[in-house]
Amino acid sequence: MIGYVFIIFCVTISFVLVNRQLDSMQKDRNYVIEHDFAVNNETNQLEKYVMDMENGQRGYLLTGDATYIEPYTTGETKWRDSYNQLRELTNGNPVQEQNLTTLKESIEKWLVQTGGTVPTMRTGVSNDSYFNFTFFVTHQNILDIRSQLGRFRSLEMDYVKNRAAHLDSQNRMLTHSLFFMLGIVLFFSLLAALVISRSIVGTIKQVTRSITKLSSMKRDSSKRIQVTMNDEVKDLADATNALLESQEELVWQQRKVTEVVQMLQGISDLETLGETFIRKAAELFGASFGIFYFRSTHEGKEVMMKLASYAMMGENNEVGKPIFRMGEGLVGQCAIEKRIVHLRHIPANYISLTSGLGSARAQSVLIVPIVHHQEVIAVMELASLHEFTLLQLSLMDEILEVLGTIVHSVQTRGEVERLLRESQVMMEELQIQQEELHTTNEQLEERNRYADERTRELEHMKASFEEHAIQLEMSSRYKSEFLANMSHELRTPLNSVLILSQMLQENNNRTLTSEEQEYARVIHSSGNDLLHLINDILDLSKVEAGKLDIHVGELHVRGLPELLKSQFEKVAEQRNLAFQITLDPQVPHIFWTDEQRLCQIIKNLLSNAFKFTHRGSVQVDIRMCTLEEIANLLPSARTAQAIAVSVRDTGIGIGPEKQELIFEPFRQADGTTNRKYGGTGLGLSICRELARLLGGSILMQSEEDKGSTFTLFIPSLLHLLGESSLLVMEAAVASTSASSEYLLRDIYLPATDQVATNDFTDRKVLVVDDDVRNVFALCNAFEKEGIIVSVAQNGQECLEVLEKDPGIELILMDIMMPVMDGYEAMRLIRKNSHYQQVPIIALTAKAMKQDREICLQAGASDYISKPLNLSQLLSLMLVWLSK
């Protein structure tokens, strides 16, 4: 850096000197160019003005032409300006100033001799003597003036030459100065380079010689490089000395680790290993106290158990806790966190290290985990009178890397020896047992033969059971198919009965008498009773077959009393019965269950209560189940939250001998052919099966002629959400019965009195059904609404009608038809781009669970089951026609 700074300093001085010289030469050059050019220019201008005055004077005197007056006048006006410029340019030069003074006097004298003004000159033209004087004598003055200007210019040119010579001299001087300074810079640069390089190279050679000596001393790293200079080379020497110290420490660590490994080799038990290592650790780390804990099991829990110690005091080695649970104290915490704990500020009463001469307080404590495969298998604690150094801590890390493997190896070897001893004992016992087994071999063979015979019999029975299961499955499938077909066969004629009876009952044309309207009402009511019977039979069969699904959702319990009152208050008034509902405040607002099935059970119980009660009251109590009730009546419940709904009446009651029969299908308390109350006897059977499906039960208490109490116990089904694909929460999915479907459609379809007659006027609807009774009923109903009805007997005729009349706006499609059923017809219709947006409402009398999905997949826009409710059908048609 010194050499570079010196060179830069010399170059800087040279640059400054050269720059100053160049500035001076530039100024002289500019002066020569600008000043001499200006002087020469102004001299020529002055001479021009004088010559213009002379020429103008002569021309005017000779010709009298006034145009010659202008050059004279101009020259007379401006020659003084040029003169003054010359005075300024030659200021400081007395010779030139004197020449300019003489020149001015000559010009002024010439002007005076010529009269000074043009009129004066023209006046003297007639005087020959004046003319001759002016024309010839003053010419001599003009020549003098030009001669003076020539001398002035000649003298000025001499000055220019002198200045140019001076510039040449300065240029030569600058060149010599540059070469001189370059020589000085080269000299001092070479001198500085020589001195500095000798300093650097000499020091590096010294370092090289020192390293060479170190390498030739059998790698004795105790030698250090000594450098007296305070520069970068000293830093190199210090770094080399630090490297030697690090190498010396590394060699020391490796030697100590090797000593530990060699010392622990051949040890076969953990006690010896712990005692040997704790003594060596005290020596290596300068510790005055130490404990070695090993991971073990005590009373079924993993603990750190004291295995060995160093410099313990007392008869029983009472210093040091014998057992630490995992996470207990610093030892247990060290075992969990797998990190070294280093305590530097030790309290006075923590531990005292004692010798024969006295005792002293420990200054530093080190708690170290011994790890094997990411698991702490031992912990060592050391205490010392001095601080543990970084070198000692680094040595500890090196030892811990191999100590875990050694401890685990000793532990494994001990375990193998223990297992070997146990295996020897077991082999001896096995030999005894083999002798005993040999004596009983014949008995076992006899038993094996008997077991083989039993196995063959069991396999035969298993085959019989599997065949029986297949037959049961086929029977169940046949039963389901039979019920579906019977549902279709019963609902198809029932559909026309309900539609026509409803039309007759409404008597829109006023053609029926009141008695005839009553007949129609009875027919419609009987048809609805028949429909409920069909639905009950389907529900019961599905429950028995295990195919009735539940839909878990939120039940707003607080709204349940209002729902029951709205449906049964009128019944209570008609039968002159008191109807009361109580709700326990402890019942939650939200309860998770299948709301539809729960309401179906409660409604069936209430219907029975009102049916069999002639006087008194019917009461509903809703409360929380007690823990005892849950344990006894709901053993499979997974929650402590359950509700109990009790329906209490003051009716006829049930005798003890008939209380079990009423829950069987088609059985009632009054089972005679002339029974008083009617009914099918399916209600309570369905209630019991639905309660089981919801995970609950029904308990009955009754006394003949005093009344009955039916209590429904239902647990919360919140835990079932997401566990089964059969338990879904879809409020819009069609239920398994037609009545529940109508209940859902009432949610979003407008009521009958909200449908105007003019909404259907001239709307074209195609009815596709093979049953002439349904076609007759629907055509009569639709024509009264102003609908233009087209009819097709099957899917093939439907396609033909659509081809003839492309203006069809809505299609009612029956499913089960001859030639081409409704599924195939809807698929073919949707393939035609012209009818892809035409609404198709599927009609079916089977009302099975999968019918809705199959109809929608085939191309139906919506779905409704038979028998049809005419008001809801018209509302559904209005929705799709309005779209």
The pLDDT tens digits of the residues spanning 682-714 come to 668 778 888 888 889 999 898 888 899 999 999
Q: Which residue has the higher pLDDT, 32 or 110?
A: 110
By percentage, how much of the chain surpasses pLDDT 70?
Answer: 78
> For residues 539 and 487, is the Cβ–Cβ distance under 8 A?
no
From 263, 270, 276, select the one nearest 305 (Cα to Cα).
270
For the CA atoms of the chain, what is the radius of gyration? Answer: 64
What pLDDT is recorded for position 58? 76
Q: Are residues 746 and 701 in the same domain?
A: no
CATH number at residue 118: 1.20.1420
Please name which of 647, 626, 648, 646 lies closest in space to residue 715, comparing C-alpha atoms. 626
Mean pLDDT of 733-745: 33
pLDDT at 115 over 70: no
**Tens digits of residue pLDDT in 832-854:** 888 888 999 998 765 565 778 88
Q: How many CB atoms lie within 10 A of CB 515?
A: 8
Tens of pLDDT, residue by residue over 489-507, are 666 677 667 777 777 767 6
Q: What is the CATH number of the domain that holds 866?
A: 3.40.50.2300
Q: Cα 191 to chain center, whole Å? A: 71
Contact 539, 736 (CB under 8 A): yes
Strand intervals (E) in 504-584: 553-556, 578-583
Residue 438 placed within a domain: no
Last residue of a domain, one of 136, 170, 187: 187
Residue 255 pLDDT more than 50? yes
Q: For residue 754, what pLDDT is reported? A: 40
How far apart are the C-alpha atoms of 846 and 488, rounded to whole Å?
5
Residues 784 and 710 in one domain: no
Quick one: pLDDT at residue 124? Answer: 47
Domain assignment present for residue 524? The answer is no
Q: Is cis: bond before 322, omega within 30 of 0?
A: no
3-class SS at 617?
strand
Rounded Cα distance between 862 and 501, Å, is 25
Q: What is the pLDDT of residues 416-460, one digit of tens each?
A: 777 888 888 888 888 887 777 778 777 778 878 888 888 888 788
Does residue 770 share a domain with residue 706?
Answer: no
Name the domain boundary from 155, 187, 219: 187
Average of pLDDT values for 350-369? Answer: 78
Nearest to 334 by CA among 291, 363, 362, 376: 376
Distance CA 836, CA 687 (A): 44
**Angle of CA points 583, 584, 586, to nearest 5°:** 135
Contact indicator for 717, 661 with CB cutoff of 8 Å: no
What mean pLDDT is predicted for residues 794-807?
92
Check residues 349 and 413 and name the one with the higher pLDDT. 413
Backbone angles phi, psi at 637, to 5 degrees: -65, 135
Q: What b/e sequence results for 282-320 when a residue is b if at least 16 CB atoms lie within 10 Å of its CB, and e otherwise?
A: bebbebbbbbbbbbeeeeeeebbebbbbbbbeeeeeeeb
Cβ-contact 312, 282 below 8 angstroms = no
Q: At 767, is the pLDDT very low, low, confident or very high (cuts 50, 70, 90)?
A: very high
pLDDT greater than 60 at residue 781? yes
* HEC readout, 140-190: HHHHHHHHHHHHHHHHHHHHHHHHHHHHHHHHHHHHHHHHHHHHHHHHHHH
Answer for the pair 366, 342: CB distance below 8 angstroms, yes or no.
Answer: yes
| pTM of this structure | 0.41
* 332 within some domain: yes
- pLDDT score of 173 more than 50: yes
CA 686 to chain centre: 50
Q: Which of 160-169, 543-552, 654-663 has the lowest mean pLDDT?
A: 543-552
For residue 648, give the CATH number of its domain.
3.30.565.10
Q: How far is CA 708 from CA 601, 794, 826, in A?
A: 16, 53, 53
Asked whether residue 42 falls in the same domain as residue 130, the answer is yes
Residue 189, classified by CB atoms within 10 Å of its CB into exposed (0-12), middle (13-18) or buried (19+), is middle
Confidence band of 577 (pLDDT split at 50, 70, 90): very high
Side-chain half-sphere CA neighbours of 55 within 13 A: 11
Task: With respect to residue 793, please indicate whether it lies within any of the assigned structural domains.
Answer: yes
Q: What is the pLDDT of residue 711?
A: 94
- Distance, in Å, from the CA atom of 812 to the CA atom of 323, rounded to the nearest integer, reads 85
Tell which wins on pLDDT, 478 or 668.
478
Question: Given 402, 433, 453, which residue is the final one in a domain?
Answer: 402
Task: Give the CATH number, domain containing residue 303.
Answer: 3.30.450.40
> Are 760 and 708 part of one and the same domain?
no
pLDDT on residue 526: 67
Average pLDDT over residues 295-310: 85
Most confident of 46-60, 372-386, 664-678, 753-767: 372-386
Same domain for 811 and 681: no
Q: Which backbone phi and psi does 333 adopt, to 5 degrees?
A: -70, -35
Tell me whether residue 471 is in a domain.
Answer: no
Run of H or E including 530: helix 514-545
d(CA 63, CA 755): 131
The model's confidence at residue 316, banded by pLDDT at 50, 70 and 90, is very low
Confidence of residue 640 (pLDDT cuts 50, 70, 90): confident
- Cα separation, 587 vs 517, in Å, equals 47
Let me know whether 751 and 718 are in one domain. no
Q: Which residues contact 214 (CB under 8 A, 6 or more apart)?
A: 220, 221, 223, 244
- pLDDT for the residue 669: 47
Q: Which pLDDT does position 271 carry in this prediction?
A: 83
Q: Report if residue 594 sits inside a domain.
A: yes
Give phi and psi for 623, each to the nearest 5: -145, 175
Can you give the pLDDT at residue 731? 29
Number of domains in the chain: 4
DSSP string, 115-137: TSSHHHHHHTTS-HHHHHIIIII
Largest CA distance in the chain: 191
> Is residue 658 in a domain?
yes
- Rounded to 5°, angle at Cα 232 from 226 and 238: 40
Is the confidence at residue 743, as pLDDT, over 50? no
Do 309 and 357 lie in one domain? The reply is yes
What pLDDT score was predicted for residue 258?
82
For residue 27, give its domain range: 2-187
CA distance 483 to 37: 132
Query: Which is it for strands 301-310 and 323-325: parallel, antiparallel or unpaired?
Result: antiparallel
Residues 711 and 787 in one domain: no
Task: Decide if 422 is inside a domain.
Answer: no
Residue 459: C-alpha distances to residues 447, 452, 463 (Å): 18, 10, 6
CA distance 138 to 128: 15
Are 761 and 627 within one domain? no
310 pLDDT above the threshold of 50: yes
**Residues in contact with 777: Cβ distance below 8 Å, sequence separation at least 6, in sequence order:** 495, 496, 499, 500, 503
Task: For residues 650 and 761, state if they share a domain.
Answer: no
Q: Do residues 713 and 765 both lie within one domain?
A: no
